[in-house]
């Protein structure tokens, strides 16, 4: 809604002032003013169609009133007089100010805002928001209606018998007093009584939908079409709800989101299924949204990586096809990510693959140096860095730059000359200055990526490290098979926060600001706050079998869109709100 108000104040209202001013003419006169006017009407109609009837009355009242007011200025002769053979001007009262107009500009205005323009503008808005609403928003609606009526009658007189028969079906009901005054009408007339286009059903307040019990039903407003010579105007065509309109669960999601402050730091999970991504034949082991959150990557046990589009369409039951499939892996893929600086994808099955995210073309591969110590963990450095970091079973951390041949750096991760075991997970700080490595022994080693010096090593958990993330403020978050989720401050010896799950290991989690969104093998989604001293989750939700069948195996948060991607052991991926 903040963006709608900005569009209204910064674009529409200044544009309407320019279109309706009697003080200044347009280059090329009538032609230019008419073209700009029709484009402006198209934008207004699109906004009204998208936000629904009730929100039009709340946010677009001044815009509609200001546009239709020009018809009163011109056609009731409140501000000027045009007489045959002689032109005289008087002062025009424009929004409370006295203006002495130019006669050429007034003639231009009268030519543009003629009965045809009245028809082209009034009928679409009448169909979109209904009789009752337009009478409330447009004080001079009867004048505009008469102008539209006169244009329609002039067109009908020259039309064929077939057109007359088709349009006669749309005569106003007998109860319409205004319709009786105007005689037989080819389209519904405004009336004080309720009409089929009126507000017969109470609305929910957003996007033109209705609440029927616990179901959100989208009301379809009848659209009226008539014969017209002005066929090139998009406003005179039918205005059905397109595939981009919000429906079903997408509509329900925005019912929740529309009232939230954009600065709200909390992650709200309502368990609303928005889309399904079916294509993997094996367990989905990793998920990675791309920059911009228009696409995401998934790696699977079926030895493939798929690129999926994230578009807001469908009603929640939509099954989306992958945009691209990379099939060069020989083993189960356990890592996938984007090298943001070069817009390339990094995936790993024990061998690191670098490939083009647009074409799926393989670029380079990196295997274990001696063939005896397979690669067990991979991550990418944040932009503007171009390095890929991977750790192997021999506790060695290697840096490679895809733009150059060979290794960039190689560091052995041993603290006090003691090997900590197998590297399970890697996490890079948002600045790219430090790399944290989690080991199978529960040990964590913090490395300075610039110098290769080990800053700190400590026994963080009693079990195997399952996942790690690095966050702003030199924080490292880790989960383990010992049922704990721990927040560490880089060089402090005690954990900043430690959350213990009573029954389920937290094997997947992601960050949303200062909150941690977690997933367990019991299909529970928990939200923990790093700023809260409480050791219990802020919210905990058990996923329904309708939203996720099988066992939760991977999780990723879309922070900008406030959505959640969930992968399962049957290969299905769900997008939930």
Percent of the chain with pLDDT over 70: 76
Compute the average pLDDT of residues 122-142: 87
Residues 6 or more apart whose Cβ sits within 8 Å of residue 261: none
Compute the average pLDDT of residues 6-30: 86
pLDDT digits (tens, 9 = 90+) for 90-103: 444 545 544 445 78
* Three-state secondary structure call for residue 394: coil
pLDDT digits (tens, 9 = 90+) for 305-331: 999 998 877 777 888 899 999 999 999
Average pLDDT in the chain = 79
pLDDT digits (tens, 9 = 90+) for 426-463: 999 999 999 999 998 899 999 998 888 888 888 999 99
Q: Output the six-digit token pair for 468.
A: 């790690």
pLDDT given for residue 429 in this prediction: 93
pLDDT given for residue 210 in this prediction: 44
Half-sphere exposure (Cβ direction) of 156: Cα atoms closer than 13 Å: 16
Q: Is the pLDDT of residue 303 over 70?
A: yes
Half-sphere exposure (Cβ direction) of 77: Cα atoms closer than 13 Å: 5
Torsion of CA 310, 316, 321, 327, to 10 degrees: 70
Q: Pairing mode, if any, of strands 284-289 and 552-558? A: unpaired
Q: Does this model's pTM top 0.75?
A: no
93-102, 163-172, 297-306: the lowest-pLDDT one? 163-172
Q: Is 89 exposed, middle or buried (0-12, 13-18, 19+ CB in 10 A)?
A: middle
DSSP 8-state class, residue 309? E
Taking the alpha carbons at both ends of the chain, their separation in whole angstroms is 20
The order of strands in the sheet holding 454-459 is 423-428, 434-439, 443-448, 454-459
CA angle 116, 122, 124 (to 5 degrees): 110
pLDDT digits (tens, 9 = 90+) for 184-197: 343 444 444 333 33
pLDDT digits (tens, 9 = 90+) for 255-282: 666 666 667 788 888 898 999 999 999 9
């Amino acid at each position: 809604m903040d963006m709608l108000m900005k569009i209204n104040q910064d674009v529409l209202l200044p544009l309407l002032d320019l279109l309706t001013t009697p003080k200044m003419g347009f280059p090329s006169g009538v032609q230019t003013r008419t073209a700009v006017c029709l484009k402006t009407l198209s934008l207004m109609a699109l906004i009204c169609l998208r936000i629904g009837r009730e929100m039009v009355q709340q946010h677009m009242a001044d815009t509609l009133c200001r546009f239709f007011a020009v018809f009163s200025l011109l056609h009731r002769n409140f501000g000027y007089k045009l007489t045959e053979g002689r032109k005289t001007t008087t002062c025009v009262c424009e929004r409370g100010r006295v203006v002495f107009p130019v006669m050429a500009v007034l003639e231009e205005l009268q030519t543009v805002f003629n009965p045809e323009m009245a028809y082209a503008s009034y009928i679409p808005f009448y169909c979109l928001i209904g009789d009752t609403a337009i009478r409330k928003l447009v004080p001079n609606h009867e004048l505009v209606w008469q102008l539209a009526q006169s244009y329609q009658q002039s067109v009908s007189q020259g039309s064929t018998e077939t057109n007359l028969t088709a349009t006669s079906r749309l005569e106003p009901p007998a109860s319409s007093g205004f319709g009786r005054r105007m005689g037989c009408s080819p389209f519904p007339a405004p009336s004080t009584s309720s009409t089929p286009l009126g507000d017969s059903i109470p609305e929910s307040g957003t996007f033109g939908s209705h609440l029927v019990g616990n179901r959100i039903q989208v009301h379809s407003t009848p659209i009226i079409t008539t014969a017209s010579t002005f066929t090139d105007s998009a406003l005179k065509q039918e205005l059905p709800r397109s595939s981009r309109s919000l429906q079903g669960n997408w509509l329900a999601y925005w019912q929740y989101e529309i009232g939230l402050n954009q600065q709200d730091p909390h992650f709200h999970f309502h368990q609303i299924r928005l889309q399904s991504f079916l294509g993997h034949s094996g367990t989905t082991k990793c998920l990675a949204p791309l920059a911009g959150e228009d696409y995401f990557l998934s790696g699977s046990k079926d030895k493939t990586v798929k690129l999926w589009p994230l578009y807001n369409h469908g009603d929640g039951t939509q099954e989306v096809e992958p945009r691209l499939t990379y099939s060069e892996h020989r083993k189960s893929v356990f890592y996938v990510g984007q090298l943001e600086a070069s817009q390339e994808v990094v995936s790993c099955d024990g061998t690191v693959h670098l490939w083009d995210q647009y074409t799926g073309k393989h670029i380079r591969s990196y295997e274990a140096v001696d063939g005896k110590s397979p690669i067990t963990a991979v991550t990418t450095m944040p932009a503007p860095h171009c390095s890929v970091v991977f750790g192997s079973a021999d506790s060695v951390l290697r840096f490679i730059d895809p733009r150059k041949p060979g290794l960039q750096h190689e560091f052995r991760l041993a603290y006090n000359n003691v090997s900590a075991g197998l590297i399970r997970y890697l996490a890079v700080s948002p600045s790219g200055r430090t790399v944290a490595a989690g080991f199978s022994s529960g040990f964590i080693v913090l490395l300075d990526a610039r110098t290769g010096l080990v800053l700190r090593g400590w026994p963080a958990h009693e079990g195997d490290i399952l996942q790690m993330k690095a966050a702003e403020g030199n924080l490292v978050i880790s989960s383990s098979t010992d049922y704990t989720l721990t927040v560490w401050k880089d060089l402090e010896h005690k954990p900043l926060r430690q959350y213990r799950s009573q029954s389920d290991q937290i094997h997947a989690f992601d960050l949303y600001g200062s909150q941690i969104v977690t997933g367990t093998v019991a299909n529970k989604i928990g939200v923990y706050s790093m700023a809260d001293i409480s050791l219990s989750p802020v919210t905990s939700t058990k996923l329904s079998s309708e939203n996720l069948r099988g066992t939760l195996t991977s999780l990723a948060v879309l922070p900008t869109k406030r959505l959640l991607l969930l992968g399962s052991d049957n290969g299905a991926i769900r997008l939930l709100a």
